Amino acid sequence: MTLRFGTDGVRGHAHTELTPDLVVALGRAAARVLGAGPVVIGRDTRASGPRLEADLAAGFAVEGLTVDNVGVVPTPAVAHASMTRSVTGAMISASHNAYVDNGIKFFAPGGRKLSDEVEERLEAELDGLLHEPVPILPDVSAVVDDSVGAAWVDAVVGSVPAGALDGLQLVVDCANGSASRWAPRALERLGATVEVIHAEPDGTNINAGCGSTHPEDLQARVVASGADAGLAFDGDADRVLGVDASGALVDGDHLIAICALDRHRRGELVDDTVVVTVMANLGFRLAMEANGIRVEETAVGDRYVLEALARGGWCLGGEQSGHVIFPGLATTGDGLLTGVQVLAAVRAAGQTVAEAATVMTSLPQVLVNVRVVQRRPDIADRLAGPIADAEARLGPRGRVLIRPSGTEPLVRVMVEAEDTTVAEEVAGALAAAVEAASA
């Protein structure tokens, strides 16, 4: 087997790494590990999606499970169906990757992503199945169940008061992905006037020069249209970035900060705590401290944010990438829900997006990837001296993070400081230390 579970399911080049036999076996393994019952399968707009959908459905069906194909929907729509119907969910998507890639992520009944332990069991089952002959596959109905996407939109719209976005002029970039059909109608139902760009998927243009990984078109269109704000989704719409009226980008740290302060003011931020990964900007941490909000840190990956939220019973967390989670409203990151929550909070406070985003100021952040011969999980311990020297130079308004990549032979060196030049100098010195320690 060439593919393993990463922080967000299995992902690889469609048809060469994510082969039909592998996908059939993956469906069979998931059926055995996640239990009996109906399965909801959704997909994004990639050309490879329909074939992978058929293969995955056949794998589930071989094991005797009923399959409900829901067509092109965002990942959070599948999670919502998994939660409300208490069934297994499967989403076929490679998120923000180019169209040549695809992937599969699962939700256990109840809408939760799989734990490490469950993924290990699934991998073991999959390895065994790949050494067995492929069984005769049943035909699975291709009828699409539109009710799943519609129910999810209803839930997002119902998460804020009716008319919460009345009079707001928005530009929405759907990344030629899963949001294309669904997001504009939800925002319009809440009273916004919506101009839509990059919402004409052709199977190959998902994320291509658009969406949350390439928001330049959106930034320009917001300014040209005189809009109040913009939203940029990724291919499967589980994350979002914002744009203010001046065209400035509002990243995930700012979006989380806006929502944290809104809930804090209303007395609805549980334990006055917000959960972010170690990559959240130091400016976010300083802003939360200034407002009496505690920051809980996790490893990189939304699944770890989700696990921390569940452990602590907290109500808000997310990543700088725009993957924001509201456990009281959804079981996974939801770009549309995040956009609606942020815009409603901004409107309720009588602010513009730009004014609300001043809750924090991002400090310069320099990231250097150092290629190493072999991964060293203890690299930070080996560099305790150089790290201490760097932290002493940076002081309380600077930060150092050194961590090995979980998927590549790289060590990531991240330095934040008030001055970009200082951050670059410190990062360069630490990168040299990593190279010397890894030689």
Dist. CA 171–CA 190, nearest whole Å: 15
Of 357, 384, 402, which residue sits at a domain end?
Answer: 357
- Does 21 lie in the same domain as 128? yes
Structural element, H or E, at residue 363: none
- Does 314 lie in the same domain as 193? no
- Does 42 lie in the same domain as 27? yes
- Taking each helix axis as running N to C, give the angle between helix 420-438 and helix 384-394, from 0 to 180 degrees, rounded to the nearest 10: 180
Strands (DSSP E) found in 60-201: 67-72, 88-92, 101-108, 112-113, 169-173, 193-197
- Does 279 lie in the same domain as 260? yes
- Does 325 lie in the same domain as 199? no
Q: Which residues contact 51 (CB under 8 A, 6 or more apart)?
A: 15, 20
Contact 211, 175 (CB under 8 A): yes
Host domain of residue 188: 165-248
Structural element, H or E, at residue 19: none
Which is the catalytic residue, given 82, 93, 95, 438?
95
- Does 345 lie in the same domain as 369? no
Residue 139 is predicted with a pLDDT of: 73
Is 95 one of the catalytic residues? yes
Of 193, 216, 248, which residue sits at a domain end?
Answer: 248
Residue 1 is predicted with a pLDDT of: 47
- Does 384 lie in the same domain as 419? yes
- Does 256 lie in the same domain as 243? no
Please count the structural domains in the chain: 4
Contact 253, 283 (CB under 8 A): yes
Task: List the CATH number of the domain containing 220.
Answer: 3.40.120.10
Of 328, 357, 386, which residue sits at a domain end?
Answer: 357
Dist. CA 333–CA 317, nearest whole Å: 9
Dist. CA 158–CA 329, nearest whole Å: 10
- Does 220 lie in the same domain as 188? yes
> Measuring CA to CA, which residue among 139, 27, 154 is closest to residue 92?
27
Residue 300 is predicted with a pLDDT of: 85
- Does 211 lie in the same domain as 260? no
Q: Is residue 157 part of a domain?
A: no
Burial class, 52, CB count within 10 angstroms (exposed 0-12 / middle 13-18 / buried 19+)? buried
Per-residue pLDDT of the chain (439 residues; tens, 9 = 90+): 456 676 668 889 998 999 989 999 999 999 999 987 799 999 999 999 999 999 999 999 999 999 999 999 999 999 999 999 999 999 999 999 999 999 999 999 999 999 889 999 999 999 899 888 777 777 776 667 889 999 999 999 999 999 999 999 999 999 999 999 999 999 999 999 999 999 999 999 999 999 999 999 999 999 999 999 999 999 999 999 999 999 999 999 999 999 999 999 999 999 999 999 999 999 999 999 999 999 999 988 888 999 999 999 999 999 999 999 999 999 999 999 999 999 999 999 999 999 999 999 999 999 999 998 776 778 888 899 999 999 999 998 899 999 887 667 889 999 999 999 999 999 999 999 998 888 7
